[in-house]
Every structure is written in C-alpha cells, then in structure tokens.
A and B are shown apart, each in its own frame.
Chain A
Amino acid sequence: MEKVSFPPLSRVAICGGTHGNEMSGVYMVRELQRKKEDKALSFTVTPVLSNPPAVDACRRYIDTDLNRCFTYAALSAPIAASTPHELRRAQELNSLLGPKGSQEAVDVICDIHNTTSNMGLCLLLFSDWISLHICKYLQSKITSVPVRVILLQASMPEAYSLDSVGKHGFSIEVGPQPNGVVRADIFNTVKEALDLTFHWLQKFNSGVTFEGGEVDVYTLMKSVDYPRDPATNEITAAVHPQLQDNDFKLLQAGDPTFLSFTGETVKHEGEELFPFFVNECAYYEKKIAFHLARKATLTIPPISVKKE
C-alpha cells in the first residue's frame, strides 16, 4: 500500500467522565489537570471532564446518555429550556473541541471509558489510519492486558460518540471495573495506554514513518437481550457462568448463554461469533446482554507526517 501523510497532530483532547460513574477517566483527567503542562511535547493536551454534573452525582448521565448525542442532527438541534442536559452539553463540547467535521476541530480526541465486562483494554474507533496506527502501537507495547480493536461502522453524520468530534479519535475502554469504583490496576492500564499514545504522537510529529501492516479488528454484527418476562419486562435470567467474563472467546452454536433464575439454560444458536460487552451494567436498560462480533483483518498503509 502506498504511504499516506497527514498534517502534524498538534491539538489533543483527553476526555473523561463522559459517563459520570466510569471512574478511571474522571481521575485521569483530574490528574492531567493537576500536572504542569509538558512543554517538551510537540502537541498540546487538553484534559476535559465531559459531564461534570453526572460526575458529581456519580451517575452515568443526568437526563440522557451523553455519548449518543454527537450525531450531526443532535449537534444542530435547537436548544430550548426543556432540552435535556446532555444534549446541551454535547453542543458545548462540540464548540470546545469541534465543530465536528470542520478544520477547527482538535486533531485527536481520546475518550476514556470503563466497563463492568471483562474486556481488558479495547480501543473503539472508526476506520481511520491515525487511530488504527495508534492501536497497532499500543498492541505491540502493552503486555499486561489483552488489547483489542473494535471497529465501529457509521458515517460521520451518524456517528454518535464524543470521539467523532475530532479530526481523528477513539475511545479507550477498560474493564472489568464496577461503576462508581476506581481500581488501581485498571487506572494503571489507562495511564499506560495514554503514555504510549503520547509517545506515538511525539514520534509521528517528529517525522517517523510508521510501517503498514495488518490489524485484527472486531466488527459488531448483532446484540442479544436478556430473556424477559413478557408481562413485567423484568429479566428472568443472568448471563451463564460459562459465558460470564469470557468476552472475545468464540461462542459457538450450543454454547450456554443464559442461566435462568429457576435454573434453565439458554443456548446460542446460529453463526459462531465473538461476544463482547458481556454483562455490561449500563446496557441492561438498552436491552443488551452482550454484543456479537465477527473478526476481520484490516490492512493499513504506512503513514508519516506531511513535511512542509
């Protein structure tokens, strides 16, 4: 593949507390705000606490999920007195870090999340060579936890997450960690991922060519809800012990997926796929017990910074 070049990446935003109870990002942003700016870096780092009222209340959100409010439609909707807090806040963040799709947008947004699922370190991104190269770099350097790439498939206008506001962006998702809790090991993984991201950016801006190659990615195929009582809509089963904590372990037809509260087993049917976000707390209300993905290999070109 032919080499691709990009302008220098000089403005980087690190966002935490997009969900107010995902604590690694909250404390990472506070730590970045506390530390003095590193003048040796070839880029500026702007730490942003995305949803302060949700952080104060230690809740995922106040009115609605902030990380679904960054579609072009939501960002251009008129604001009224009755507008939910997060829709308002999304437009503020878009002014601060965007506007999405324009030349003024920051070069890279890195949005920090936690999950109750046993997902190790996952990087969620749209197909973008910069983000994919950063992921490849993290995968080659981090040995303490598995590092995987989840490829999101949405057009820019429809992309709804905060990281879609920057020219390039990705989410760092680390688990398992309960909501409202900060675990030192999980925090250390986030810190390691950020430090390596900064190393990569420094190298990129200094003119290093990053070789092309292959990256394994997971792409979402479908989601599976909990079995529910048709009358009350309450869940009637928990994720099966053999699936629990086994994110990214191939799920084949006949493998158990749920164990009902009265002891019956539900099994997977159909195509063999890779489960992830298994038993994520915030997804109960979104009617998702787990997602299922296919695995694919992407070829990425060599990249370097555009020389003036």
Chain B
Amino acid sequence: MEVEEVVCLPRLSRVAVCGGTHGNELSGVYLVRELLKAKKGKEDAMSVQMVLSNPRAMQQCRRYLDTDLNRCFTHAVLNGPISDAAPYEMIRSRELNAMLGPKGSPQAVNLVCDLHNTTANMGLCLIAYSDSDWICLHIFRHLQRQMPDIPVRYIHFDVSHRESYSLDSVGKHGFAMEIGPQPHGVVRSNIYTAMKVGVQHVLDWVRFFNSGTIFEGGYVDVFTMVRHIDYPRDRETHHITAAIHPQLQDRDFCLLHPEDPLFQTFSGDTLRYKGTEPLYPFFINECAYYEKGIALSLARKRCVMIPPIRAQTEQEEQANRESFGSEEEEEEEE
C-alpha cells in the first residue's frame, strides 16, 4: 500500500478571532468580549488577536450601519479610491485589512476565524472559499470529532480569491464559523457555549499543528453552494408573497427533491421545488437574506480526500522563504 506523502505547510503563528462583523449576531460579540477580558500574553508559537469587527453596528445592535461589512473585502473595495463620504463599513474594512492583512500579502495573519450566527437551523458550519485548503479542512474534521453533540458541516463557496468578499478572506487561511438557530439580537446560552467550545477546539488544533503533530489523511463531506432561490414576490411592490413551507422550515441539509414543497403562500397554496437535481438546502429562512433576495441556498455534497499534513519545521520554512523570493523575481520578469 502506498504511503501518502505528508503535506508540509507553514506554521500558523498569527491567528485572529473576529466577532460582531454583523453587529446583531450576538454569540460572537459576547464571546470576543469575554476572550478580550481573559486575554493572556503572546504564547510561544502562536499569537491570537481578538477583534470586534463592527463596533458601531454592535452599539446599535444592527447588522450594519450603511452596508454589509462582510461584503467589503474584495480587492476593489480594499484598494480602490475612497472618499470621505464612503459608507462606514467600507472605511472599516480597510482598517481591518491594515490590521489583519493586507489581503494577499505575506504580512497577512495566518488564520482568520470569523464568528457568525444565523436564524437558520444549521448547527455549526465552517464556511470557506476553498475545498482544498487543507488547514481549514483539517480544522473542520477536528471539530466534527471533538463536538459529537452538534451537527458540524463544511460549506464551500466556489469563489476565486480575486472575487472573495468576506473578512475571512483577509488571512492566508480563513473561514467563517456560523452557528444557528439564534434570532439576531438574542444570545442563546446553548449557541454561545457551542461557539465558545468551537473556538477553543480551533485554537487547540492550531497549537497541536504548530507543535509538529502529524494529522492523518482521510475523507470529509463538503457542501458546495450551487445556487440560491428567492421568495416569490409581488411584481409591483416586491414584497414577498409566500413563506418557507412548514415541511422545509428548519430542515437545513435534508436533501430536497424535485416536487418537494418549497413555499407556502400567505393565502395557503403550496409552491414546489422545480429543479431537476436533488440538492441540499441551507440558510433556510435566514433573516438577513430577505433583502439579498435569498430564501434558501442549495448545495451539492461530495466526499473530499484530505492528505496528511504537518507544520513545516523552521529549516523548511527558511528554505521556502528563500525559494519564494526567487519565485517573486521570476514573476516580475514575466
């Protein structure tokens, strides 16, 4: 039997845990506040930065003041021209980029863990742009094994680095940790505890990784977003004319088949899923997505093989830095 080659990746020396990116998603707000209170000094192999991303939105217990902060991390917004009259969140995203990035540069933090809540019944989800970022996928598998009491899933948005728009894309690696169901503006004890335990396991994994542990390879299930479905709407007023059907409500990640009920109109009629492919629904009835035109999202599930990984030793990191330098020269010549 072939022994799989262990993938060696740079140590994760700088980690950022962010809460309050949406000011009314309270588990992350209170968890980061607690972690800031309990802050210890820099550890040997890893420094952890706790960040409250959108303090002004938090003050008003709103998702955002002017515009959704978690859509303000594209290269265009971060590096383009900006006026004094720019929306608050665009100014703030550039501050966060200076603090934790710059995005795409060697100075960026190694890992961003951005904390979110959803009104959808999604359990704990890690949401990331890649289905081949071995750091994120190994952290995911670790959480699944350490947290058997809550469903833990991995959602992949197939968006290129160039077009990635969320805070977690600022770090060299990153993901959003999304936990629900919890109403916005409310903190539920069980959801808070799940997030606290989840973050603890993420940081523990990073410590193990940095200390040289070899993590064995294996297989994980990944849900890749395929498309969104909007609510039926009145043509003139644009108001929604139906709610998520009772048989779909709270059934995130239960396979949706063609002809399954999707919506119930306010006059009592059932509207059915007209797609031809059975898909996995998630973000079912997320409060913040009404204004984005999303009643639910749909994903395909596949099994992804993850290789064994370990952290590079100091010598390996040094050798890599030198060869990275020469690669840069080659790129400039092209």
Q: Tell me what chain B mostly uses at the interface: helix, strand, loop, or mixed.
A: loop
Query: What 6 pairs between A and B have smallest CB-CB spacing?
Result: A178-B183, A238-B189, A184-B243, A180-B287, A281-B185, A178-B119
- CB within 8 Å of B: which A248-287 residues: 259, 261-262, 279, 281-282, 284-285
CB nearest to B285 among chain A residues: A181
Min distance, Cβ A308 to any Cβ of chain B, angstroms: 37
Known contacts A184-B245, A185-B246, A238-B188; decide if A261 and B285 are in contact (CB<8 Å). Answer: no
Give the B interface residue count (CB, 8 A).
Answer: 33
A8–B49 alpha-carbon span in the complex (Å): 68
Cβ-defined contact, A178 with B243, below 8 A: no
Q: How far is the CA of A188 from the CA of B246 in the complex (A)?
A: 10
Contact B185 A244 (CB under 8 A): no
The minimal Cβ–Cβ distance linking A60 to chain B, given in whole angstroms, is 9
Residues of A within 8 A of B239 (CB): 30
Residues on B lying within 8 angstroms of A by beta carbon are 30-31, 33-34, 61, 119, 181, 183-190, 192-193, 196, 239-240, 243-246, 249, 264, 266-267, 285, 287-288, 290-291
Given contacts A178-B287, A183-B285, A238-B192, contact A261 B246 (CB under 8 A): no
Q: Does A187 lie at the interface of the complex (its beta carbon under 8 Å from any beta carbon of B)?
A: yes
Number of A-B residue pairs, CB cutoff 8 Å, is: 90
A–B complex contacts, Cβ < 8 Å, 23 sampled: A27-B243, A28-B266, A30-B266, A58-B290, A116-B186, A178-B119, A178-B181, A179-B184, A180-B119, A181-B183, A184-B244, A184-B246, A187-B266, A188-B246, A238-B30, A239-B188, A241-B193, A244-B189, A259-B193, A261-B33, A261-B34, A261-B196, A284-B185
Contact of A185 (CB < 8 Å), options: B189, B190, B249, B267: B249
Report chain B residues within 8 Å CB of A35: 267
Partner of A181, one of B33, B119, B189: B119
B13 CB to closest chain A CB (Å) equals: 28
Picked from A58, A116, A187, A238, the residue with its CB within 8 Å of the CB of B243 is A187
Bound Cα distance A263, B50 (Å): 20
Measured CB to CB, the closest approach of chain B to A294, in angstroms, equals: 26
A258 to B287, alpha carbons, bound, how many Å? 27
A contact residues around B184 at 8 Å (CB): 178-180, 281
CA A27 – CA B240 in complex, angstroms? Answer: 9
- Is there an interface contact between B183 and A262, defined as CB atoms closer than 8 Å? no
- A238 contact set on B, CB distance < 8 A: 30, 187-189, 192
B30 in contact with A261 (CB, 8 Å): yes
B243 touches A182 (CB 8 A): yes
- Residues of B contacting A279 with CB < 8 Å? 186, 188
